[in-house]
Amino acid sequence: MASKNTFDIVSLGNASIPSPIHLSKTAGEKIFSFVEDSDRMLMDVSLADFNSCIRNNTQPNCLEKAGPREALFFDPKSTTAAIVTCGGLCPGINNVIRSLFMALHYFYKVERIIGIRYGYEGLIPGNGHDFLEFTPDIVKDIHEFGGTLLGSSRGAQSVPEMVDALEKNKIDILFTIGGDGTLKGANAIGEEIEKRGLKIAVAGIPKTIDNDIDLLDKSFGFETAFDVASPIIRNAHNEATGAFNGISIVKLMGRDSGFIAASTAIAMPVVNFVLIPEIHFALDGPNGFLEALKKRINLKHHAVIVVAEGAGQNLFETGTEEVHDASGNIKHQDIGLFLKHRIKQYFDTIETKTTIKYIDPSYIIRSAPANANDSLFCNRLAHHAVHGAMAGKTKFVIGRLNNRFVYIPISKVVNQRKKIDMEGEFWFAVLQSTGQPFSMK
């Protein structure tokens, strides 16, 4: 056996305080057992990888199993935990906040739990955002609401200033709920803490409605997103069939990956075309999208197109001037409006009357409350994040891989964004469901 496992979680030090949670230490007591730091889950679950490890005498890549530890690093009685939410809205943020609070307050009896207002901005004193002191009453009903109780903001803040604030306010654990940028910030905060020799844990609960956190099965809010998007697609289909040669274009979230667009199209199978950042498609030419759309329209006299916001960026590069002339700056960045414009132009040219409806429901979707499965998922992510942080782990995110909850170093999930594998079975399912051409180039 060779190769050091590079997915180990950093710890603030020896965990020696007994957990106040009364669990079993042995099986057969009909009660959950503490999880050992050495419990590991395989990352690649194929027999091929197993055989390859044996052949090459290597250790498989593994992740640390999440769960309550018998020994804590932080003494709950004197611990202050803080929660911050950053970036765009996503269903489930309030569920995560509520469950973090519940686990800290009821299971671990942590003395003080504070909320940082408006994202990382709230850690910069100059912004004048006071902390929120959490109580059971404050969080009682927030799982029913979308959005974030704490408010959010985008963009980076000075890492030293933020660590100053943590230090000054005697914060022992910082839970950050946010996406790629937020997690990079959390890692930087963790490194600054390390540099200063402080004992502050930084834990991340990855938030990306786009479902594009690397390595993970899924991110919270994503399932709600396409759950909320589904009746919108159904209604868009009503618009399309409601007119002769009716075309509905729905733009859904997905900056760098098309998980929401693709999942919605499978879930609500009235979609004829799914355009996502992962595919490079041409508009014109005999194999281009417009020709495919024409065939569909001539056959059925209506079409539903779902486009991820990050799709077709190549079209802007090559078509800058034309777009400029027609409708100004906005269209440059909006693939939905751009498509609407080009589709109209195209059918006008071939003298086919169409009725085109453009629908952009993003803000409605991301601010919706979490559905039941996401609520459950948020709850479990939050509890596991608390277990890890109380044990003194830091610079980690909680996530699920292969249907197991695991701790992963932040640095491992921010390297790149997860994308739909164009050679994978999921994208093939989309092609099968929509009937769109395998290639539109």
Spatial contact of 76 and 173, defined as CB atoms under 8 Å apart = no
Q: Which of 292, 433, 306 is nearest to 357 (CA)?
A: 306
Sequence-distant (6+) residues with CB within 8 A of 138 are 132, 149
CB of 187 to its own copies, least distance (A): 24
CB of 35 to its own copies, least distance (A): 8
CB of 48 to its own copies, least distance (A): 8
Q: CB nearer to its own copies: give 86 or 193.
A: 86
**365 carries a ligand binding annotation:** yes
Which residue bears the tokens 């803080």?
A: 82
CA pair distance 412, 423, nearest whole angstrom: 24
Other Cβ atoms within 10 Å of 304 Cβ, number: 27
Q: CB nearer to its own copies: give 169 or 327.
A: 327
Secondary element (H or E) of residue 410? helix 410-413
CB of 267 to its own copies, least distance (A): 4
**366 carries a ligand binding annotation:** yes
Of 39, 44, 210, 374, which residue is the catalytic one?
210
Q: CB nearer to its own copies: give 190 or 419.
A: 419
**181 carries a ligand binding annotation:** yes
**319 carries a ligand binding annotation:** no
Which residue bears the tokens 């496992």?
A: 5
Q: CB nearer to its own copies: give 193 or 308.
A: 308
Spatial contact of 66 and 407, defined as CB atoms under 8 Å apart = yes
**399 carries a ligand binding annotation:** no
**180 carries a ligand binding annotation:** yes
CB of 70 to its own copies, least distance (A): 14
Q: Provide the token pair at 318.
A: 């090559």
Sequence-distant (6+) residues with CB within 8 A of 158 are 124
Q: Provide the token pair at 394.
A: 């830091």
Judge whether 210 counts as a catalytic residue. Answer: yes
Sequence-distant (6+) residues with CB within 8 A of 77 are 109, 111
Q: CB nearer to its own copies: give 9 or 12.
A: 9
Binding positions are: 88, 154-155, 179-182, 208-210, 253-255, 309, 363-366
Binding positions for Mg(2+) are: 180
Q: Which residues are catalytic?
A: 210
Binding positions for ATP are: 88, 154-155, 179-182
